Structure 1
Amino acid sequence: MKKKTICALVTASLLIAALGGCTSADSSQSGGENGDEIKTAETAENTKTTSDVSVPTIRFAYNWTGTADPKNATYEKMIMDYVEEHKDSVNIVLETASGMDLQDKIKVDLAAGDLPDVFMYWGGESNLGSMVENGLLVDVDAYCAESKNIAREQWDESTFLNSTLDGKEFMFPVESFKWFCIYNQALFDEYGLKIPATYDELKECNEVFQANGITTIDVGSKGGDYGHILYNEVLYQLDGGIEDTRDLTIDREFAVQATSDAAMYITQMRDLGMYPDDTIANGGGENAALLYTQSKAAMMMCAPWLFASISADVLDTTVIAPFPEMPDAAVSPTEFNMGAISEGLCITTEAFQDPAKKSAVIDFVDFLLSDEIFSALGKTATMPAKNITLDASELDPWMAKAIEYTNDLPTYQPLWFLMPTTDTATTYSDGLDEMFAGAIDDKEFIRKVQEAFDNAE
């Protein structure tokens, strides 16, 4: 299966709309506002809301669960309210798995031939390819033809880039994201330093921070998160970093000059002691901003959902500024963003074509894709992927700052979304973990990933 990847992911119109006016509506469905306590299911466990066998059962798998993150709490409460309100007509089984554990769950379900009817997932051929090849997913146009509330025109075409395979789209975009660099201005001021604009200035700051027990860059890599973001931030500055990696699913040439040079800089920063001592423990998830929020790290790559992990006092002294420019940069870090669609919603063909549950599936998915859901998420430092407008006064202040900072620049997808197979994506992520941790050097990282590309089917 081949696909051509477009260079720039254009989401400017979406983000401009996010600062527009009041919320528009395409659906009258409601998630409710009751105050019942939310009951969450543990990974791979099911929560059933009714035992009436006369109504259809829909299995829904998602990872926005728990109360620690405002986005998760908001999303899950709205789902729980919907489940309660519709329990007499549909039995919705909720299957939750935190963070990237959802990917493992879906892989297991896929191997067992037991996919959930509806599930959140990630785009890219490495994630969706095998399901699409086996006809397991409903394409966007087929769903929209049956829905009275949802139309593909409610999304910018660019948001479908990483879910397009063989000319069709197989995932409704839910969350978009952009990454940017944040700095704890208070730490720089404390040690008489300026925010570094160049790599040489970054190294000078690092010497001072190291001497005072401060980690310069709060970045780790666990399953590639979020080390792959720093790797791409460096890569896309370099000559050929953008152009030479756009067609990885077609030409399978990972080992080019730009990827090699970017890996060299990553290992150089590692050897200079810029990263946390334990890059696995400080990789993705809840520990991604741990040192930064403790004022033990001076800077980090950030996405809107990470604001919830940073304490208010540290946010008060935080500034957004470009990552330092590398010595041989061909593209200034002030000239591009990095981002894509983080997660989207998939519907299985089996459930959609089942006469006994089709109507209930459409009603539920319409709710999950409603303006009501997206508007609520937009108030929780989440960048909605759908074209809606939000009241700027209701936006999280840091969300508004992130939108303003990233709004007018072209946005490029991280390489993780361009991997052609699951095996290449896994090797890439694992290789990043090893490289950040010091288990392998830059040359071995490039060799391992290229070998995975060579062996990809």
Structure 2
Amino acid sequence: MKRFKKVMLVVLSLLLILSASACGNSSNNSNASNSSKSSSSSGKITLTYWNIFTGEPAKTKVKEIIDQWNKENPNVQIVESVTENDAYKTKIKTAIAANEAPDIFQTWAGGFSQPFVEAGKVLQLDSYLNDGTKDQMLPGALDNVTYNGKIYGITYDQQASVLYVNKELFDKYNVKIPTTFSELIDAIKTFKSKGITPFALGEKDEWPGMWYYDMIALREGGVQLTRDALNGKTSFDNQAFVDAAKRLQEMVDAGAFDAGFMGLTRDEATAEFNQGKAAMYFGGNFDAAAFDSDPSSLVKGKIEAVRFPSIEGGKGDPTEYIGGGAGALMVSANSKHKDEAVKAAKYLAKHLSDMEYLIGAGLPMFKYDNVDQSQVSQLQIQIMNNVVANAKGNVPAWDLYLMGDDAQTHKDLVAQLFAKQITPQEFAKQMQQKINGK
């Protein structure tokens, strides 16, 4: 009897072990099956996209673009993350350094993105853009995202330097809109004699004044010389850059700016122009939105957007401008879905180009035949027609082209030129020593 009980206990134990084992196997198989079904049934790819569109109406418009993509591409969904401009610059640099960049990310052409490319963190796009994408873009659209002859980004907007003139004041004092630098100096002196500030400038922020020097240098030396100097292939000691500094100080000496311009911010300067207190404002196409949308503006409808004057004896083509491709999208080299990410980036770039032109936030880098021109501001249209159209070339604002501390060095040196703290020769020498290291 005892032996029978022992046998029965052994049998029961075996049955319990087998049963537990079977249950375990059944559970594992079930889980594996569910995991497989989940993967195959959803089949969805999620692409992360970081951008800086925090303000309205751009923020809502970008969401609409993404929603439309997600509707048209149910198996490839874009999820965006939005960060304010300055904070974003730190965020994207940190993410790229840590190999945690999103699939698609907002960046800036030129020097800002160059370290990402040199570190091998960005996908090369040449082979992806021969599907007709290049044909959809404006001439030179990819120049500023081309490094060592290879394309690494898709630009969606561009900047363009613009001379805004208050037509009412020009007409009132019978002043000709200047097309040469000597005419510009004459206009400055005339307005100064009438008690009108010739140019509104906020040099406290430094970059607004930098646009003046960069533009004059482009007129003196031309696109190729400027790019060669910025790339360290030629010297900033070149006479063209010295002469550009002389021209800038000639404007200061002629009384071009408000007495307190070194302490004014850019916003204060645009407000001064908006109130009709200055005859001219030199800046970027992005300033047009402020002149168009400010409800307190006294100059709306009275502004004309024209090219910066040519310089007698200068080697630059009079159609060249500071600007070109600025905002761009890049794809992480570490993306697990490179093909899908590039396809989405091309879609986003095209729609962002149209959107920014339509709302006045930026100039397009894609052909804009499908944009309803009646909905675009007249200043934007003037800029495209009077500044960008038929231009022979462009160079980005130097703080975009130069990398890291070099950009700030340039802005600081230009500010010293405005304040007459250094001579044109000292400026050129320090630019060469501090930026090109020679």
Q: Give me the TM-score of the superposition, normalised by structure 1.
A: 0.71
Q: 1:373 to 1:423 in 2, by over 3 A?
A: closer
1:289-438 paired onto structure 2 within 5 Å = 289-311=270-292, 313-326=298-311, 328-330=313-315, 333=318, 335-351=319-335, 354=336, 361-362=341-342, 364-370=344-350, 372-381=351-360, 382-390=362-370, 391-406=372-387, 407-414=389-396, 416=398, 419=401, 421-438=403-420
CA distances 1:33-77 after superposition (whole Å, capped 9, x unpaired) = xxxxxxxxxxxxxxxxxxxxx98765433233312xx5x356444
Question: CA–CA distance in 1 between the matches of 2:126 and 2:180?
Answer: 47
Question: CA–CA distance in 2 between the matches of 1:82 and 1:280?
Answer: 46
Question: CA–CA distance in 2 between the matches of 1:212 and 1:305?
Answer: 29
Asked if 1:106 is matched to 2:92, the reply is yes
Q: Is the 8 A contact 1:171 1:344 kept in 2?
A: yes
Question: CA–CA distance in 2 between the matches of 1:258 and 1:62?
Answer: 38
Question: CA–CA distance in 2 between the matches of 1:139 and 1:97?
Answer: 27
Larger helix fraction of residues: 2
CA distances 1:160-201 after superposition (whole Å, capped 9, x unpaired) = 111111221111011123323121021233444333444444
Asked if 1:265 is matched to 2:261, the reply is no
SS at match of 1:137: coil
Partner of 2:82: 95
Structure whose CA Rg is larger: 2
Q: 1:279 to 1:172 in 2, by over 3 A?
A: farther
Q: Is the 8 A contact 2:416 2:422 kept in 1?
A: yes
Q: 1:363 to 1:447 in 2, by over 3 A?
A: same
Q: 1:346 to 1:246 in 2, by over 3 A?
A: same
SS at match of 2:261: coil
Question: CA–CA distance in 2 between the matches of 1:292 and 1:221?
Answer: 15
CA shift, 1:336, in A, is: 3.7
Q: Is the 8 A contact 2:328 2:349 kept in 1?
A: no
Q: 1:338 to 1:419 in 2, by over 3 A?
A: closer
SS at match of 1:387: coil
Partner of 1:194: 176
Amino acid across the alignment from 2:106: M
Partner of 1:216: 198
CA distances 1:294-320 after superposition (whole Å, capped 9, x unpaired) = 212211224433221014641311223
Partner of 2:14: none
Q: Give me the TM-score of the superposition, normalised by structure 2.
A: 0.74
Q: Is the 8 A contact 2:154 2:346 kept in 1?
A: no
Partner of 2:105: 119
Q: 1:296 to 1:87 in 2, by over 3 A?
A: farther
Asked if 1:231 is matched to 2:231, the reply is no
Partner of 1:21: none
Q: Is the 8 A contact 1:218 1:291 kept in 2?
A: yes
Residues matched between the structures, number:
386
SS at match of 1:138: coil
Q: 1:399 to 1:167 in 2, by over 3 A?
A: same
Partner of 2:142: 160
Partner of 2:52: 63
SS at match of 1:247: helix
SS at match of 2:158: strand
Amino acid across the alignment from 2:79: I
Q: Is the 8 A contact 2:320 2:394 kept in 1?
A: yes
Question: CA–CA distance in 1 between the matches of 2:279 and 2:105?
Answer: 37
CA distances 1:376-415 after superposition (whole Å, capped 9, x unpaired) = 3332233221234234334332222222223223132146
* Stretch deviating more after TM superposition (416-425 or 58-67): 416-425
Q: Is the 8 A contact 2:53 2:82 kept in 1?
A: no
* Stretch deviating more after TM superposition (405-414 or 167-176): 405-414
Q: 1:237 to 1:452 in 2, by over 3 A?
A: same
CA shift, 1:138, in A, is: 0.9
Amino acid across the alignment from 1:380: I
| Contiguous gaps of at least 5 residues in structure 2 | 1-42
Q: Is the 8 A contact 1:220 1:275 kept in 2?
A: no
RMSD of Structure 2 on Structure 1 (CA): 3.6
CA shift, 1:445, in A, is: 2.7
Q: 1:129 to 1:223 in 2, by over 3 A?
A: farther
1:133-144 paired onto structure 2 within 5 Å = 133-141=118-126, 143=128
